Chains A and B, each alone.
Chain A
Amino acid sequence: MHYKLAFIGFGNVACALARLLMRKTAALESKHGITFSVTGIATGSHGFAVDPNGLDIQGALALVESGKSINPLSDSRFPVTDSLAVIRHSGADVMFENSPVNTQTGQPALDHIRAALELNMHAITANKGPVVHGYRELTALAKSKGRRFGFESTVLGGAPIFSVFREAFPLAELSSIKGIFNATTNIILSRMERGESYAQALKYCQSIGVAETDPTNDVDGWDAAIKVAALVTVLMDTPFTPQQVNPQAFAVLHLK
Chain B
Amino acid sequence: MIAKAKAEGKRYKLVCSAEKVDGKVTARVAPELVDSASPLYGMMDSSTGITFRTDVILDYSITESEREGMQGGPVETAYGLFADFVNAVT
Contact = CB atoms under 8 A, between A and B. Distances in A.
Contacts of B37: none
Interface residues of B, number: 61
A24 to B, nearest CB: 7
B89 A94 contact: yes
A174 B49 contact: no
Interface stretch (A42-50, A75-83, A189-197): A189-197
Interface in A180-229: 180-183, 185-187, 189-193, 208-210, 221, 224-225, 227-229
B31 A186 contact: no
Given A16-B74, A209-B69, A163 B29 contact: no
B62 A186 contact: no
B55 A247 contact: no
Interface in B43-67: 43-57, 62, 64, 66
Majority secondary structure of chain B interface residues (helix, strand, loop or mixed) = mixed
Given A16-B75, A180-B49, A193-B2, A175 B87 contact: no
Nearest to A198: B2
The number of chain A residues touching the other chain, given as a range, is 35 or more
A17 B78 CA distance: 5
A148 B43 CA distance: 33
16 contacts: A16-B75, A16-B77, A124-B88, A155-B50, A160-B83, A161-B62, A174-B52, A176-B17, A178-B51, A186-B43, A187-B46, A210-B46, A224-B14, A225-B29, A236-B25, A251-B30
Interface of B: 1-3, 6, 11-21, 25, 27-31, 40, 43-57, 62, 64, 66, 68-70, 73-90
